[in-house]
Structure 1
Amino acid sequence: MSHDLHTSSEGTIFALDIGTRSVVGLIVEPLGDKFRVIDCAIQEHSERSMLDGQIHDIVAVAEVIQQVKERLAEKHGPLTKVAVAAAGRSLRTRRATAEMEIRQHVAFSRDDVLTLEFTAVQEAQAQLAQELNDLDSTRYYCVGYSVVRYLLDDEPIGSLIDQHGDTASVEVIATFLPRIVVDSLLAALKRCDLEMSALTLEPIAAINVLIPPTMRRLNIALIDIGAGTSDVALTEEGTITAYGMVPVAGDEITDALMNAFLLDFPMAEQVKRSLNGNETVTFQDILGIDHTLPSAEIVAAIDGEINKLAQKIAEKILELNGRAPQAVMLIGGGSLTPKLTEKVAGMLELPAARVAVRGADAIQQFVESHPLINGPEFVTPVGIAVAARRHPLKYITVTVNELQLRIFDLRKMNVGDALIAAGLDIRRLHGRPGLAMTVTMNGRMRIIPGEHGTAASITKNGEPVGLDAPIDNEDKIVVIRGTDGKDAQALVADVCGNSPLIELSINGQAVCLEPLVFINGVEQSTETPLADRDQVEIRMPQTIAEALRQTGFHPLEAETLKFRLNGQEFEWPRHEIHLLQNGRPASLQQPIQPGDEIVYEQHPLPLPAIKQVIPPEEWIQEEVHVMFNEQRVAVKTGQLDITMNGNPVTADATLTDGAIITVKALPGKPPVFSDVFRFVEVSLVQPEGSGVMRLITRVNGEDATFQTEIKSGDKLELYWEKSKTSGQ
């Protein structure tokens, strides 16, 4: 009778356990809540085509699968679909953290938490790829992750939802299955014309049938001891927390028997399997000699290898778990190694009853008894069949932004998983917040935040969804990255707050004074945009001058006349200011108080003459110093040359605004006696009633005239003397 295989309740299930030593094939029929094993076929590999759970020779493994398939198909009809499992030893577990600044978040949402968790998973994925020198991190399927802890501002916290703080972080343990493991499985099945109907992980398959959900909160170690490797899986708090592999297993025990008793490999395998349940074992060595020995004596001969196996398993459990678990379950053909359970228990310091071999009898709740299914080596194959029915894990095809992806549905996958598989950076999907701006206001630093970035727009088949939305085959997902927030922008008015106004009176008019704003020392208005690192001072007007300037009563630009004199800038007042504060004369720098009555007047002043504004030092001329009739006299020589705006003028010319004036002294002729008269008062009129007199002029005692040249230091005399003729 032909069965087109599928995993419905009507059809049978073809399950394959592809191990290092052999391939086990089962035909299982669902019967309500149980399963009945209809048939079983076991075929060993003829060469080392498997290594540590990874298919190294696809062609050779496919040949063994084909043999198992054909043997079962002879009795049960064509087999087209198969349930398989990936070895737990091929899994990679990594621990990673992700951190997010949340000081600008109004409140931390469920989507924010998921973004943080998926970011941590991507970090673990990137770490794994880096360790294995793989440029493409999407070559590793995330088959599950668990949150170790959440942190708020570096302190552990139970949940981040609706929390406020500066930083939120999460630490996760993520487990990945290299894509090559799945790809090689698919390739081997394809050569046998088999379609993968369901796929699970070997430890998950075993745990699903051995450990009911009610027990999964316990810390249990599951050890699958095969031929070449011993796989370790740990469960706690309802999830599988860690996987590991020990490259020591049943073959080491077989090798020890070969060396101890000169046996070939098949005979050593036969002796090993006979040790359980038999007091004596008969065998023939490679020399053809028959032996019959007590089982205890044979076990004693290989005690060292059994110790080594137990020690390696115990060390791996302690490494992964950090402590001894509450119980240890051994499955797989190698679990039947004599004294192994008690040795593992001793090394973990557990009671002997806490370490046990679990065989087909442990899965009676799932599988009806069958003469072929009676040992621990069948736990995983049956678990694969059960998983195909109860936990059907398949590939699903989804499209992310027009990129078609085949996602390995190892658990109920969601939108976040699809985005990770597409290689999208989860953290960068949310628009970045705009850059903040820092200003110093009245000596205190203030941070003005940038605008929030918008969340990514995610739709599934046209409907908006979150990262945790489940996905199904043929779903079309479109992700539009959120827009970045604008950088911080603010006017002075936005940050200065409300200041009390100062009310006073100026020239009888009531006015209200507002705060003065200085940005980097320059007065600005409250509508001035701020820039990063601005130094802002905001204060009320303090003096009469500031009050007048703000209210427009004091036009500073019309206050002075400006001119240049011999290259230097000068100013001259244009107005005369009359200022009263509460009836008393005041200066512009006088402090003000609310309620002050200020009277302010400006009276224009006439434009000055050039001689009024020229500083004394600009009038310097050469001088000759002489003594005139015992009086010291300074005689100025030369003359001043004055121009205004390039035109010659006199010192009495009226000054104009912006004028350019030059003043320079020109050298003159040497002074003569008569030049002294310009600087002293002297009468040249003859005294009355004194008779005939003559005017005497002398220079340094020598007779001189009014035209006699003089020089500094000369002694000049001028007086009237009676004429000698008049005395005769």
Structure 2
Amino acid sequence: MPSNIKYPEHLVFGLDIGTRSIVGTVGYKDGSVFKVVAQVSRFHETRAMLDGQIHDIIKVSETIKDIKDDLEHRIGRPLTDVCIAAAGRMLKTVTVRADCEFGTETVMEDEHVQSLNLLGVEKAYDALREETKEEDLKFYCVGYSVIRYYLNDFSITSLLGHKASKAGTELIATFLPEEVIDGLYAAIQKAGLFVANLTLEPIAAINVAIPENYRLLNIALVDVGAGTSDISITKDGSIVAYGMIPFAGDEITEQIAKSYLVDFATAETIKTACLKKKTVSYKDILGIPHKLDTKDIIQNVSETVDMITKNVADKIIGLNGEKSVSAVFVVGGGGKIPSFVEMLAQHLGLPKERVALRGQEVLQNVVYLEEEVKKDSTLVTPIGICLNFYEQKNNFIFIQVNGQRVKLYDNNHMSIADVAVQIGFPNEQLFPQRGKALFYYVGEEKRMVRGEAGESAVVKLNGKRVGISAQVEQNDKIEIESSTVGKDAVLEVRSLPEYKETISFQFNNKTVVCPKFIKANDELVSGYYEIQDGDRLEILNYYTLEQVLAFMDLEVTDEIYINNELADLEDKVYENFSIRYIVNLSSVSNEDNEDEEEIKDSQILEITKEEQKEHEITVMINGEEAVLKGKKAYIFVDILDVYPFDMSAAATSHLRTKVNGKVADFTTSLSDNDNIDMYWEE
């Protein structure tokens, strides 16, 4: 057994479980260099996997066990943990934009951004469930990547610290069906291993083939395996799209098998020979020997290669907004067939040098301690799976949420907010919920008052209260008590900025102060009227002459002047207008009518409110007796002349007014012995 002294204590074990083969890699990171201690590859003896999906768990686990045993022998130590990747064929991606509007300009903080992203993931999950509702599948969100943010509809890289009345996020969310995860885990466990890290094959490949400093460019990565061709696209520094087509190397192998009457394994040998030999010898299923030039074989499968590259090109263009990319990197064994990159370039309308097979040049920071290994494009994904271990420790973990045991995908920085998304906990129940907003009109202007904010969700992690950004680990216990809804918006007319409680006129050279009229849906209300949703309000800056006379309890006469002009009852009286009221002479008693002519103009009576017949009434105000006097008639507001009432609670409470147990306002008429209630209510 070889010595392991030259190896560090911790070695990373990665498995690339492909449709045709499984590649096991063991290595470690030394600075920026990844050193491969040992690598073993095994082909499936049967079609245990099809198009990236495990069909025969037992057979696949046996192959994994064989690779594990071989690697353990080579490195001289046992292997227990393994890093794996899920196939792109099963990956579901949804790109969405989610927006949130604020009632007032709001400084964007971490909680706002996180809430916005969760809103996007929820929207993506809803779209996926709608798309797959006929399939009856359960999906896990295995991560999301923000493409860009929006500040008041303008694109921006970060929202933090900015003031926004509207914020948005555009993100790509990735999901995997439950059976894919369960199948992978079952095969790994039957081989005596534990999954230490799970990533996605497209992510593993792109992390090696397209470094971050290249991702400002619009580049496509195509990982051509046996069953599928996985596609990733970068732009403006981000991975902006994932895709897959179910055509890859196996289509070429199957074409060879049909053309030359051989079984699948022999066809695979013939295809591999085309990469490094000029001729190939084989026997068909009848036992007849043959010898062919490999250039003839390549010509025979050219239509199949053309079909695959055409589908790859169409998918790239579709993912890239119906336009071609700037360049394409090709990795994986299926893309090594001669003419593949040339045909792909042609279908994308790119110069052939812009489509390149990536192998040794992207593995500059990878050193193989086993000299017989040759760096090529088939090793990109196996190395990427190992390197992903150092980037993020992805795995499925079990935790308890509100007493229920759930399985979750852990990306090594899973927060309680992420947990909530994965279990379908409503996003709005995590964050404070505002009460119902109040919408109303003042004239033709529509206005809105926001409801009060409720309390945030109460979140406990292992019995201790924490925020929704707290990190979670295996076997954690989480309790989430939904956030509360705040009080609905409430507004009284008197709180309107343009509202004034009174309006005054000059009546026979004396000031008369009247309560201001307000109409709500064409009905008169007081300043203490509580506005209802949809109300149309009109604040009247005038009285009609008829309303003035009614307020002062005066009869209509033949001569009433407004601003020195003879007036009608319908005429409007605005603030500080003057009214001259002249008594109707025909109503003055004169039994003989003989002295009527002797009455001179100077004897015309000018009536004011103070000259009317006065009387007094006794009322009960909040259980205390009070006497109102000095007026001919009384309304509710008159009690403030005799009853001290604290108005300091006006900003936080609502005034309740009642007469004889019935709701009243400040213009309600009062009579002798009325029972009046007036109080503040929270």
Query: Normalising TM by the smaller chain, what interval?
Result: 0.7 to 0.9
Distance 2:471 2:255 in 1: 52
Structure 1 residues 533, 411: CA separation in 2 closer, same or farther (over 3 Å shift)?
Answer: same
Residue in structure 1 matched with residue 638 of structure 2 by the alignment: none
* Alignment check: 8 A CA contact 1:93 1:173 kept: yes
More divergent stretch after superposition (482-491 vs 99-108): 99-108
Residues 436-515 of structure 1: pairs in structure 2 closer than 5 A: 436-439=437-440, 441=442, 443-454=443-454, 456-457=456-457, 459=459, 461=461, 462=464, 464-465=466-467, 471-473=472-474, 477-495=478-496, 496-498=498-500, 501-502=503-504, 504=506, 511-515=512-516
Deviation at 1:535, TM superposition (A): 5.4
Deviation at 1:128, TM superposition (A): 1.4
Residues 38-437 of structure 1: pairs in structure 2 closer than 5 A: 38-75=37-74, 76-103=76-103, 110-133=110-133, 139-147=139-147, 150=150, 152=152, 162=162, 165=165, 169-286=168-285, 288=287, 290-321=289-320, 322-360=322-360, 362-368=362-368, 370-374=370-374, 375-410=376-411, 412-437=413-438
Structure 1 residues 213, 276: CA separation in 2 closer, same or farther (over 3 Å shift)?
Answer: same
Matching of residue 599 in structure 1 with residue 607 in structure 2: yes
- 1:415-436 CA distances to partner (integer Å, 9 max, x unpaired)? 4322101211213544544344
Deviation at 1:20, TM superposition (A): 0.9
Distance 1:416 1:603 in 2: 74
Distance 2:229 2:120 in 1: 30
* Alignment check: 8 A CA contact 1:432 1:484 kept: yes
Deviation at 1:266, TM superposition (A): 3.6
* Alignment check: 8 A CA contact 1:503 1:511 kept: yes
Residue in structure 1 matched with residue 527 of structure 2 by the alignment: 526
Distance 1:282 1:191 in 2: 39
- 1:189-221 CA distances to partner (integer Å, 9 max, x unpaired)? 121221111122122222222222222222222
* Alignment check: 8 A CA contact 1:577 1:602 kept: no
Identity %: 33
Matched residue SS, 2:345: helix
Deviation at 1:158, TM superposition (A): 6.9
Specify every segment of 5 or more residues in structure 1 that has no aligned partner in the other structure, as ranges: 560-575, 605-728
Deviation at 1:77, TM superposition (A): 3.7
Structure 1 residues 533, 376: CA separation in 2 closer, same or farther (over 3 Å shift)?
Answer: closer
Matched residue SS, 2:241: strand
Deviation at 1:306, TM superposition (A): 2.9
* Alignment check: 8 A CA contact 1:140 1:178 kept: yes
The TM-score with structure 2 as length reference comes to 0.73
Distance 1:227 1:587 in 2: 97
Quick one: which amino acid aligns to residue 254 of structure 1?
T
Structure 1 residues 542, 9: CA separation in 2 closer, same or farther (over 3 Å shift)?
Answer: same
- 1:88-129 CA distances to partner (integer Å, 9 max, x unpaired)? 221111233434443466566553343233222212112212
The TM-score with structure 1 as length reference comes to 0.68
Deviation at 1:222, TM superposition (A): 2.1
Structure 1 residues 485, 365: CA separation in 2 closer, same or farther (over 3 Å shift)?
Answer: same
* Alignment check: 8 A CA contact 2:147 2:240 kept: no
Distance 2:156 2:503 in 1: 48
Matched residue SS, 1:338: coil
Structure 1 residues 234, 410: CA separation in 2 closer, same or farther (over 3 Å shift)?
Answer: farther
* Alignment check: 8 A CA contact 1:120 1:172 kept: yes
Matched residue SS, 1:367: strand
Distance 1:347 1:68 in 2: 39
Structure 1 residues 330, 372: CA separation in 2 closer, same or farther (over 3 Å shift)?
Answer: farther
Structure 1 residues 284, 131: CA separation in 2 closer, same or farther (over 3 Å shift)?
Answer: same
Residue in structure 1 matched with residue 656 of structure 2 by the alignment: none
Matched residue SS, 2:366: coil
* Alignment check: 8 A CA contact 1:3 1:79 kept: no
More divergent stretch after superposition (238-247 vs 191-200): 238-247
Q: Which runs of 4+ in 1 moved over 6 A?
A: 1-4, 134-138, 155-161, 576-582
Structure 1 residues 282, 176: CA separation in 2 closer, same or farther (over 3 Å shift)?
Answer: same
* Alignment check: 8 A CA contact 2:97 2:168 kept: yes
Distance 1:596 1:79 in 2: 103
Structure 1 residues 367, 392: CA separation in 2 closer, same or farther (over 3 Å shift)?
Answer: farther
Distance 2:156 2:195 in 1: 43
Deviation at 1:342, TM superposition (A): 1.9
Distance 2:392 2:532 in 1: 60
Structure 1 residues 349, 535: CA separation in 2 closer, same or farther (over 3 Å shift)?
Answer: closer
Deviation at 1:233, TM superposition (A): 2.3
Structure 1 residues 512, 247: CA separation in 2 closer, same or farther (over 3 Å shift)?
Answer: closer
Distance 1:312 1:134 in 2: 26
Quick one: which amino acid aligns to residue 599 of structure 1?
I
Distance 1:11 1:456 in 2: 43
More divergent stretch after superposition (213-222 vs 288-297): 288-297
Quick one: which amino acid aligns to residue 434 of structure 1?
G
Quick one: which amino acid aligns to residue 333 of structure 1?
G
Distance 1:32 1:151 in 2: 40
Residue in structure 1 matched with residue 629 of structure 2 by the alignment: none
Highest Rg: 1 or 2? 1
* Alignment check: 8 A CA contact 1:430 1:453 kept: no
Quick one: which amino acid aligns to residue 607 of structure 2?
V
Deviation at 1:365, TM superposition (A): 0.7
Distance 2:560 2:220 in 1: 96
Distance 1:291 1:112 in 2: 69
Structure 1 residues 228, 158: CA separation in 2 closer, same or farther (over 3 Å shift)?
Answer: closer
Distance 2:400 2:3 in 1: 33
* Alignment check: 8 A CA contact 1:9 1:31 kept: no
* Alignment check: 8 A CA contact 1:34 1:368 kept: no
* Alignment check: 8 A CA contact 1:228 1:247 kept: yes
Residues 504-583 of structure 1: pairs in structure 2 closer than 5 A: 504=506, 511-519=512-520, 523-534=524-535, 536-539=537-540, 542=543, 546-547=547-548, 550=551, 554=553
Deviation at 1:299, TM superposition (A): 2.5
Deviation at 1:236, TM superposition (A): 2.8
Quick one: which amino acid aligns to residue 111 of structure 1?
E
- 1:559-594 CA distances to partner (integer Å, 9 max, x unpaired)? 9xxxxxxxxxxxxxxxx9999989x9x999598755
- 1:620-670 CA distances to partner (integer Å, 9 max, x unpaired)? xxxxxxxxxxxxxxxxxxxxxxxxxxxxxxxxxxxxxxxxxxxxxxxxxxx
Structure 1 residues 186, 3: CA separation in 2 closer, same or farther (over 3 Å shift)?
Answer: farther
Matched residue SS, 2:71: helix
Quick one: which amino acid aligns to residue 208 of structure 2?
V
Matched residue SS, 2:147: strand
Distance 1:346 1:591 in 2: 82
Quick one: which amino acid aligns to residue 356 of structure 2?
A
Distance 1:488 1:361 in 2: 64
Distance 1:340 1:524 in 2: 81
